[in-house]
């Protein structure tokens, strides 16, 4: 594995501006273009099958934090940062923060473009972002991504022929397009996550509706039956303004009240109805019912019975 460091010593020769990429055991000259907005730099790098580690200190300039945008021109790579890992193929690009160590594992001989953007310049593109913590991001070859990839390729070839005004304009365009892709991807991910959570919550609710009368139904059994952790189950319900145990309890109380007021079930004892809907402690049920409806189950039964009798006499 090699450690990659960008050395900030530029020099000129007949082929333009270059930088030295220091790979332990393998020094090489690469093509470097420095754009005119906030010291944004482009690197076009050829590498053999290799694993490149950003190391503990990626840049020689310690006082400047950078964001790196990288896209493959050819080859194949595996990107790792923190607990995130994803593959990268030509036409896609990845966005990585200098603040966390990362690895680029090239599966074969590859060529890639690396864009070094000062963090301050990068984050000011996203209005309202106070917490400048950026998760490793992969953007697929859809939407604006092909536009950005082609723009990067063109910049590497044409930058020396452009005026300073054109370079500045294109750099701004590159940054704006990159943030537009990130925002679109983030919105899409949130929408997909929300839709997935809604579907899961509906499935859980259907399961609970079917099984609420089981006296052994608990958050633990609900989570287990739906293949999720109890913690995630509680988080889903919190987002909906409910608590799992409270939903189960309320559903049981509602069902018992419906049966207690059902004239076709007047012959059933209160305790039978309670057991039928998951209550296995009559005294506890009675207290809970009274707290919920401000009347005991037995008094409600008597009251409803009298109302039914009166209604029956009135209709004669």
* Average pLDDT for the chain: 78
The residue ranges of every structural domain in the chain are: 2-191, 212-316
Where do we find the tokens 């397009």? 177
108 close to 49: Cβ distance less than 8 angstroms: yes
Average pLDDT in the 266-291 region? 93
Q: Which CATH architecture is the domain 2-191 placed in?
A: Sandwich (2.60)
pTM: 0.52
- In 40-109 the beta strands, taken as DSSP E runs, fall at 41-47, 50-53, 66-74, 77-81, 84-88, 93-97, 102-106
Q: Give the range with max mean pLDDT: 50-54, 103-107, 256-260.
A: 256-260
109 close to 72: Cβ distance less than 8 angstroms: no
Ranges 195-199, 201-205, 287-291: which has the least confidence? 195-199
Protein fold of 212-316: Arc Repressor Mutant, subunit A (1.10.10)
Structure tokens, 278: 């998951």
DSSP line for 153-215 = HHHHHHGGGS-HHHHHHHHHHHHHHHHHHHHHHHHHHHHHHHHHHHHHHHHHHHHHHHHTT-T
What DSSP character marks residue 314? H
Average pLDDT in the 14-19 region? 37
Q: 33 or 217: whose pLDDT is higher?
A: 217
- Per-residue pLDDT tens for 242-269? 899 999 999 999 999 999 999 889 889 9
């Amino acid at each position: 594995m090699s450690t990659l460091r960008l050395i900030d010593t530029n020099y000129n020769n007949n082929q333009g501006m270059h930088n030295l990429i220091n790979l332990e055991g393998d020094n090489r000259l690469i093509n470097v273009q420095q754009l005119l907005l906030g010291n944004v730099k482009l690197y076009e790098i050829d590498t053999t099958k290799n694993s490149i580690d950003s190391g503990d200190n990626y840049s020689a300039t310690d006082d400047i934090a950078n964001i790196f945008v990288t896209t493959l021109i050819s080859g194949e790579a595996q990107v790792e940062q923190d607990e995130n890992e994803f593959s990268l193929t030509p036409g896609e690009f990845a966005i990585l923060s200098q603040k966390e160590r990362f690895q680029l594992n090239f599966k074969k001989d590859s060529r890639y473009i690396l864009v070094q953007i000062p963090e301050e310049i990068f984050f000011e593109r996203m209005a309202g972002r106070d917490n400048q913590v950026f998760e490793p991001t992969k953007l697929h070859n859809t939407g604006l991504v092909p536009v950005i990839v082609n723009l990067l390729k063109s910049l590497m070839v044409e930058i020396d022929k452009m005026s300073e005004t054109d370079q500045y304009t294109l750099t701004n365009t590159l940054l704006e397009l990159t943030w537009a892709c990130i925002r679109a991807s983030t919105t899409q991910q949130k929408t997909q996550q929300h839709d997935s959570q809604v579907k899961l919550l509906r499935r859980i609710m259907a399961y609970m509706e079917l099984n609420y009368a089981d006296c052994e139904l608990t958050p633990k059994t609900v989570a287990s039956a739906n293949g999720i952790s109890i913690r995630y189950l509680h988080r889903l319900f919190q987002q909906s303004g409910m608590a799992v145990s409270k939903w189960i309890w309320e559903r049981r109380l509602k069902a018992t009240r419906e049966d207690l007021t059902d004239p076709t079930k007047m012959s059933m004892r209160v305790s039978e109805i309670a057991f039928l809907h998951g209550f296995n402690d009559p005294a506890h049920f009675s207290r809970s019912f009274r707290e919920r409806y401000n009347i005991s189950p037995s008094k409600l039964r008597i009251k409803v019975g009298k109302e039914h009798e009166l209604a029956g006499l009135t209709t004669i």
